[in-house]
A and B are shown apart, each in its own frame.
Chain A
Amino acid sequence: MVDRIPILKLGDVLLVTIQVDMHDQIATALEEDLTARIVSSSARGVLIDISALEIVDSFIGRMLDNIAAISRILDADTVVVGMRPAVAITLVELGLTLSGVKTALDVDRGMALIRRRDESAVDDADDSD
């Protein structure tokens, strides 16, 4: 039995808080669960809080990129929040700049980022009318 990371639903945003050391199986399981959950709940945004994550490797970095790409296909925004300085430096040194992923300092700001996107989408719709 693989440990699974819980996915919380907050309105139309899915919140994932990673609080354990990620290993490859957990990462793969999270990717599958999250994809299924985005479809079933028709979420508009995915918020991944990695403030407790201390160690990353290239696999985890790629997983974050993958999740962002999958969410984009399913019309949801991915925001990674709370990355630690050491983790950021490691990812940059690994050459993973996660260019497809939005980032924010904490969950609050991440939520604001997703909402802003929703609002601008509504504005666009109003404009087109």
Chain B
Amino acid sequence: MPKANKLVTSALLNSHQAEILQQWMRRLKEDGALESGRIRESELQAQCSDFLSKLRDALAKGSNDIDGADFAPVRAVLTDLSSSRATQGFSPRETAMFVFSLKPALFDAAQKHADGDAASTMEANWQTGLMLDRLGLFTTEAYQKTRETLIVRQQQEIAELSTPVIKLWDGILALPLIGTLDSQRTQVVMENLLESIVAQGATMAIIDITGVPTVDTLTAQHLLKTVAAARLMGADCILSGIRPQIAQTMVHLGVELNMVSKATLADAFSVALARQGRIVTKRRTANNNSAEG
């Protein structure tokens, strides 16, 4: 019985595809699918007619199961569509309405061209409705998945971006930290720093916390861990960029950082140079004069 009903819908799609497509487009437009300006009418029409032909082919095979192999092309079209809409910034509702607005279009067509008795038309509509609901859910799910991968990728990019390791001089690295330090970021920071220490053969590392908004006991612990790990590899760390308010907060919280700390990156850099036996001096004026004269 369900198979026969499927064939009714399939036959309907076969004979009246153009009409259904027109109705569907009308309903989509009524729903405001084109108002956002993110998609052109011709593009939407192409997507709709592509979906309809794929759906017709799948139904012609007599299948009823949208998870089955016969529906694979339909699912592929929907997955493509949902992921492209997710990246274009459509809302989940707009994406799901693509499938749901086909339902009234199909029902109208069935009503108009019904050749059987009312009960069998009803049954066919019922089956089609169920199928379209499931396809709509599938669309939403695909949309959600795309959004989730997008969020994960952005998180990774933020984590990568915010932890550059800069070479200041032979054997001197700087690690400007920006943003709140949580355990996960500390892990990334620590790994980046240690890898760079090995790669550059650095003996000094300056950790600059100018961009860290607050330093609590947990942040301090993370900093200490990083410093301890760097020391184990044979590099000394200097902490710099402690803003006045942060220094006050740290003292009030009773946070103890047992490491060399300097107020600014410049101070820390000169300490690092001095430890390597280098000094920075101004060129003598006499030389300048003789060079000019």
Interface size classification for chain B:
10 to 19
Interface size classification for chain A:
10 to 19
Cβ of A97 < 8 Å from any Cβ of B?
Answer: yes
B91-149 with Cβ < 8 A to chain A? none
Cβ of A74 < 8 Å from any Cβ of B?
Answer: no
Asked if residues B232 and A103 are in contact (CB atoms below 8 Å), the reply is yes
A77-119 with Cβ < 8 A to chain B? 80-81, 83-85, 87-89, 91-93, 97-98, 103-106, 109-110
Asked if residues A98 and B235 are in contact (CB atoms below 8 Å), the reply is no
Cβ of B190: which chain A residues have Cβ within 8 Å of it?
89
Q: Chain B residue with minimal CB distance to A87?
A: B232
Q: In angstroms, how far is the closest chain B Cβ from the Cβ of A124?
A: 20
Q: In angstroms, how far is the closest chain A Cβ from the Cβ of B53?
A: 55
Q: In angstroms, how far is the closest chain B Cβ from the Cβ of A17?
A: 16
**Which of B25-33, B44-52, B196-204 sits within the interface?**
B196-204
Q: How far is the CA of A81 from the CA of B203 in the complex (A)?
A: 12
Asked if residues B231 and A89 are in contact (CB atoms below 8 Å), the reply is no
Q: Chain A residue with minimal CB distance to B231?
A: A103
Asked if residues B233 and A85 are in contact (CB atoms below 8 Å), the reply is yes
Asked if residues A92 and B234 are in contact (CB atoms below 8 Å), the reply is no
Q: How far is the CA of A83 from the CA of B231 in the complex (A)?
A: 10
**Which of B7-15, B64-72, B222-230, B260-268 sits within the interface?**
B222-230
Cβ of A97: which chain B residues have Cβ within 8 Å of it?
228, 231-232
Q: In angstroms, how far is the closest chain B Cβ from the Cβ of A61?
A: 10
Cβ of B55: which chain A residues have Cβ within 8 Å of it?
none
Cβ of B194 < 8 Å from any Cβ of A?
Answer: yes
Which residue of A88, A106, A109 is within 8 Å of B232 (Cβ)?
A: A88
Q: How far is the CA of A106 from the CA of B202 in the complex (A)?
A: 11
Cβ of A87: which chain B residues have Cβ within 8 Å of it?
232
Cβ of A106: which chain B residues have Cβ within 8 Å of it?
201, 234
Asked if residues A84 and B191 are in contact (CB atoms below 8 Å), the reply is no
Cβ of B195 < 8 Å from any Cβ of A?
Answer: yes
Q: How far is the CA of A110 from the CA of B233 in the complex (A)?
A: 11
Asked if residues A105 and B228 are in contact (CB atoms below 8 Å), the reply is no
Q: What DSSP secondary structure best describes chain B's contact surface?
A: helix
Output the residue of B195, B197, B229 with the most chain A CB within 10 A: B229
Cβ of B229: which chain A residues have Cβ within 8 Å of it?
85, 88-89, 91-92
Asked if residues A105 and B201 are in contact (CB atoms below 8 Å), the reply is yes
Asked if residues A105 and B232 are in contact (CB atoms below 8 Å), the reply is no
Asked if residues B191 and A85 are in contact (CB atoms below 8 Å), the reply is yes
Cβ of B232: which chain A residues have Cβ within 8 Å of it?
80, 83, 87-88, 91-92, 97-98, 103
Q: How far is the CA of A107 from the CA of B230 in the complex (A)?
A: 17
Given A97-B228, A109-B203, CB of A84 within 8 Å of CB of B198: yes
Q: How far is the CA of A110 from the CA of B203 in the complex (A)?
A: 12
Which residue of B194, B202, B203 is within 8 Å of A85 (Cβ)?
A: B194
Q: In angstroms, how far is the closest chain A Cβ from the Cβ of B192?
A: 9
A9-55 with Cβ < 8 A to chain B? none
Q: 8 nearest interchain CB pairs? A: A85-B194, A104-B234, A88-B229, A105-B234, A103-B234, A88-B232, A97-B228, A92-B229
> Which B positions have Cβ atoms within 8 angstroms of A?
187, 190-191, 194-195, 197-198, 201-203, 225, 228-235
Known A104-B234, A105-B233, A109-B234; further 15 A-B contacts with Cβ < 8 A? A81-B234, A84-B233, A88-B194, A88-B232, A88-B233, A89-B194, A89-B229, A91-B229, A92-B225, A92-B232, A93-B225, A97-B231, A103-B232, A105-B234, A109-B203
Could you list some 21 contacts between A and B, CB below 8 A?
A83-B232, A84-B198, A84-B233, A85-B191, A85-B197, A88-B229, A88-B232, A88-B233, A89-B194, A89-B229, A91-B232, A92-B228, A97-B228, A97-B231, A98-B232, A103-B233, A105-B198, A105-B201, A105-B235, A106-B201, A109-B203
